[in-house]
Every structure is written in structure tokens, then in C-alpha cells.
Amino acid sequence: MNKSFGDYYLPTRFQYVILRQYFNKINAVFNMPQGEPVFTKTNIRLRSIINNLKPNSNLILLSIYMLPENKIIRNKIITKMIKKKIKLHLVFENTLINKAKDFKKINEILKLNKFSQ
């Protein structure tokens, strides 16, 4: 993602460094991902990736703040991930989400952080 996410901004080449390291850690093959278009908030790339993921796959995001800001889009994505039993890795938050109830906590975390801004 070539724009800020949450309170973070990290040039993509360094995002790749972190992702590559994380992929190594979990013994997965790293292929250079394509980024989200900066001019839209529809999260088309993330939605396309999730659509193509096979059931029980892993999805690795640098941060929870890479999930859609728009709650409707976010909830659609979360529902799809739950349905496909996707394991969601959030690198900055050091969290692995693989249960339906944990997916629901995503909205809570995002909301709580909005309260404290």
C-alpha cells in the first residue's frame, strides 16, 4: 500500500522487506504483491485477492489498518474470510486470526482506537 495506513507510512520496498521476512518465518513462498490503487477507497485489490484465495489459505497484512476503512466493505471481507476459513496474519499487531469470534474483534479494535484518538 503506497499511502498511509492507520498512523503508519512505510515505503513499499520496506513493506516488501518485512513481508519477505515474515513469509520466511512461516515457510511460505513470497511473491511480490501488487498494491492497492491509491486513488480509491474501494479496496479493489484486497477484495480481488480474497476472492481468489482458496479455503484455509493464509492472508498476510502488515497491519490491521490495511483493512478497509469503510465498515460495509470491511464486514463483507470479514464474512468472506470467515466463510473460507482464511487465517489472517497481522504483522505489526503480531496477531493471527483464525476463528470467527476473533475476526469480529477486528471491528472492536478499530473502534476502540478511534475513541482514543
Partner 1 sequence: MKNSEVNFFIKNGFFKIKLQHNNFLYLKNKIKDTLKKQLNFKKINLEKFHKRIRIEELNDLRLKVFKKINDDNKFKQNTYESAKKFIHETVGNELCSSDINLSIQLPGDKSSLLEMHSDFFSGESLFQINLWIPFVNVKKTQSMFIINPADSLKILKKIKYDKNLNFDDINKKFKKQMRWINLKLGEAILFSPNCLHGNVVNCEKNTRWSINIRYKNIYSPCGKERNEKKIGSFYTLLNPKAVTQFNLKYDFDEITN
- Residue ranges in contact with partner 1 by CB under 8 A: 2-4, 9, 11-13, 31, 34-40, 42, 44-45, 47-48, 51-52, 70, 72-73
| Least spacing, CB of residue 112 vs partner 1, in Å | 25
Mark residue 85 as left, alpha or beta (left: phi above 0; alpha: psi -120 to 50; beta: remaining): left
Question: Between 31 and 116, whose beta carbon lies closer to partner 1?
Answer: 31
Query: What's the length of the chain?
Result: 117
| Least spacing, CB of residue 15 vs partner 1, in Å | 11
Question: Between 2 and 56, whose beta carbon lies closer to partner 1?
Answer: 2
| Least spacing, CB of residue 81 vs partner 1, in Å | 15
Taking CA atoms, 111 is separated from 12, 24, 44, 69, 107, in Å, by 27, 32, 23, 11, 6
Contact 64, 106 (CB under 8 A): yes
